[in-house]
């Protein structure tokens, strides 16, 4: 897989997630509420973040952006596994505040657009 393809995959994934959150804010809020009720999902998310972070670091080549994202994913994975109760509190806060959910939605969408641009045009 080339670096461009990695960015394309990340771009499509992040942009689709952001669009889904924008189109269905009630379901996005429900997602954050439900995740906070199932610690197993938090552990699963931590494991997935570790795997994705490792893969980005191992196959991201010389891309500084992929290096940075890979380390962020690894740190997120460790955080989720080491501090699940903090993740539960954060999820509940995001679910309660419309502003936090809206900001999260736009950040995810803009990251997706940035990754798509890098993957297809840079």
121 has a pLDDT exceeding 90: yes
Report which of 86, 77, 71 is spatially closest to residue 46, judged by C-alpha positions. Answer: 77
What tens digit of pLDDT does each residue of 74-88 get?
A: 999 999 999 999 988
DSSP letters spanning the chain: --HHHHHHHHHHHHHHHHHHHHH-HHHHHHHHHHHTT-HHHHHHHHHHHHHHHHHHHHH-TT-HHHHHHHHHHHHHHHHHHH-HHHHHHHHHHHHH-HHHHHHHHHHHHHHHHHHHHHHHH-
The pLDDT assigned to 56 comes to 92
Give the predicted TM-score (pTM) of the model: 0.84
């Amino acid at each position: 897989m080339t670096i461009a393809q990695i960015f394309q995959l990340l771009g499509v994934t992040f942009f689709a997630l952001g669009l889904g959150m924008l189109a269905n804010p009630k379901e996005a809020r429900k997602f954050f509420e439900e995740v906070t009720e199932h610690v197993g999902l938090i552990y699963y998310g931590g494991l997935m973040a570790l795997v994705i972070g490792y893969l980005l670091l191992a196959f991201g080549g010389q891309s500084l952006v992929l290096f940075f994202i890979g380390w962020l994913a690894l740190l997120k994975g460790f955080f989720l596994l080491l501090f699940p109760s903090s993740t539960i509190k954060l999820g509940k806060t995001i679910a309660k505040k419309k502003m936090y959910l809206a900001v999260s939605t736009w950040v995810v969408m803009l990251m997706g657009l940035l990754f798509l641009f890098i993957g297809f045009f840079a």
